[in-house]
Amino acid sequence: MSIESRPSEQHADASPIQEAQDRFISSWGQMAGAWGISRTMAEVHALLYITGDALNTDEIMDRLRISRGNASMSIRALLDWGILSRTHKRGDRKEYFEADQDVWSMFRAIVRERMKREVEPLLASLFDIRDRSPVPDDEAGDDQQAAIEHQRRIEEMLTFFKTVERLGQRFAGPTGSGLEAAAKLLGRLP
């Protein structure tokens, strides 16, 4: 028999703290788009963060009212992002999952992953485009002018994203513990 006092209605008998947690989960879920992940992934993470508990798949399914498949895939994806970790409990074969409780280290993981997935491929493309673009020669002419300005724009983008990548490494890279301080420094308002 399952231990589920499954809240089939929205919050049948939710404690005040559960209500607050649900609000957090839902807000966090709405941010999903911003992190480039699915709503469910965000909600699973929110649940584990805000409760602070290590939960197993069934508990997550039950609390968020999602299917086993969805839970499994979302958990897997969050593990891949490196913002969830596995644990086990003695005498229990189930896997338990918990979220990093340090907000800064959690965001470092997110930045690291987005760098890898978005900035790096773009940089590679930009280098590639630069290498394949027609090289302006000495002759004057509209084509040459166009080629020169094209090159300038590609260079500017490259410079920008190279800076972004260096910042990202500073923040999120292996040696990247310096950002909290940096943020505080920069954050001092004029």
Partner DNA sequence: GCTGAATTTCAGTGATTTCTGAAACACCTG
Partner DNA sequence: CAGGTGTTTCAGAAATCACTGAAATTCAGC
Residue 40 binds which entry of DNA, a second copy, none, with Cβ cut-offs from 5 to 8 Å by kind?
DNA
Shortest approach of DNA to residue 178 CB, angstroms? 33
Q: Can you give the C-alpha Rg of the chain in angstroms?
A: 23
Shortest approach of DNA to residue 36 CB, angstroms? 9
Binding residue for DNA, selected from 25, 46, 48, 75, defined by CB under 7 A: 75
Question: Cα angle at 124 between 120 and 129, to 5 degrees?
Answer: 145
User: At a CB cut-off of 8 Å and minimum separation 6, what does 140 contact?
Assistant: none
Residue 77 binds which entry of a second copy, DNA, none, with Cβ cut-offs from 5 to 8 Å by kind?
none
Tell me the window of 6-14, 75-83, 87-95, 161-169 that interacts with a second copy (CB under 8 A): 161-169
For 156, the enclosing helix (H) or strand (E) is helix 142-172
Residue 67 binds which entry of DNA, a second copy, none, with Cβ cut-offs from 5 to 8 Å by kind?
DNA
Tell me the window of 9-17, 54-62, 63-71, 77-85 that interacts with a second copy (CB under 8 A): 9-17
Tell me the window of 6-14, 72-80, 88-96, 122-130 that interacts with a second copy (CB under 8 A): 122-130
Q: In what order do the strands lie in the sheet with 95-99?
A: 55-56, 95-99, 84-88
Binding residue for DNA, selected from 72, 105, 144, 151, defined by CB under 7 A: 72
Tell me the window of 63-71, 111-119, 122-130, 132-140 that interacts with DNA (CB under 7 A): 63-71
> Scanning the structure block, which residue is given the tokens 């890898």?
116
> Scanning the structure block, which residue is given the tokens 């929205």?
10
* Burial letters 158-174, b for 16+ CB under 10 A, else e: beebeeebebbeebbbe
Q: Per rule CB under 7 A, is residue 76 in the interface with DNA?
A: yes
